[in-house]
Amino acid sequence: MDAKKVDLKGRDLLSLHDFSPDEVTAIIELAGELKEKQNFKIPHACLQGKALGLIFQKSSTRTRVSFEVAMYQLGGYPMFLNTNDLQLGRGESIADTARVLSRYLDGIMIRTYSHAEVEELARYATIPVINGLTDLLHPCQILADLQTIKERKGTFAGLKLAYVGDGNNICHSLLFGCAKVGMDISVACPEGYMPDGEIIRLAREDTLLTGSKMEVLTDPVEAVSGADVVVTDVWASMGQEAEQNRRAGVFPPYQVNEKLVAHAAQDYIFLHCLPAHRGEEVSAEVIDGPHSAVWDEAENRLHAQKAVLALLL
């Protein structure tokens, strides 16, 4: 798929479900091309004169730094906008904020809690809106994950990804992402912490486009068996700190450790969106071991987001 043949200009990126398999593939392939250009110091300032607003209600390391650097390296201007510094923090409506920012900027990236608020921002904005994370979805992270898998494995065909842990925004976006690229996915979550039912329904629709297989289980060993990629995330996401103690009593059987990954393929790779809590959702032996690709994965946030910005803006 030639990224130049896919026209995404002006589109929003709220969910990978909204993109076709060809469009997702084009983003991943362009991310690889832009990474190669950076590595070989080839100029790729395709967004000169463009400005991107970065709205943060949730704090961030990777999202903020990667988007700011991505926009800078593409020749554009990134503008950090803390919600406490915007009139949003004093009661201005999302719709009015979207209308005003659309007159100043060429795109908006927002990282916040409510997915409905991001949808509302996109509805009233006349410029592309990019979901940098909500409690429901994290599409930018999964594009970086898919880029990392493609780099390490060379293909998505015939691969199985296992996600073990909380049925959260990472899990949801992995369900969509794997379906779009034709990769099988097995998810293992404790009862009461399963992925959202509507997300599962939509992801099953997506699997029909590529023929990938999808399982939602409670048994982590069954999910990880034969997996080429093993993924996990923290047991309590940002905003769920009050549930930490209760979750700590539920999730230990879902820790990704050497005993669990012994059931994966011998050449499996391990991914984690970070930050990681060693000794909780993952053991140090796994995340710091020879199968870990988390640092390539973290770097690829930069390149995957460059591709998104280049195509949308």
Q: Which residues are annotated as a binding site?
A: 60-63, 87, 111, 138-141, 169, 233, 237-238, 273-274, 301
Query: Which amino acids are annotated as binding site for L-ornithine, given as ranges?
Result: 169, 233, 237-238
Give catalytic status of residue 305 as yes or no. Answer: no
Per residue, what are the HEC states of 82-122?
EHHHCHHHHCCCHHHHHHHHHHHCCEEEEECCCHHHHHHHH
Contacts of 280 (CB under 8 A, 6+ apart): 234, 235, 248, 251, 255
Known catalytic membership, residue 46: no
Residues found in the chain: 313
Measured distance CA(140)–CA(134) in Å, rounded: 11
Closest CA to 203 of 173, 161, 233: 173
Catalytic residue among 57, 73, 141, 305: 141
Catalytic residue among 17, 111, 172, 272: 111
Set 233, 272, 291, 303: catalytic member: 233
Catalytic residue, candidates 17, 138, 272, 291: 138
Q: Which of 171, 178, 189, 273 is an active site residue?
A: 273
Residues that constitute the known binding site for carbamoyl phosphate: 60-63, 87, 111, 138-141, 273-274, 301
**Is 106 in the active site?**
no
Active site residue 123: no
d(CA 265, CA 38): 32
CA 14 to chain centre: 11
**Which residues are known to be catalytic?**
111, 138, 141, 233, 273, 301
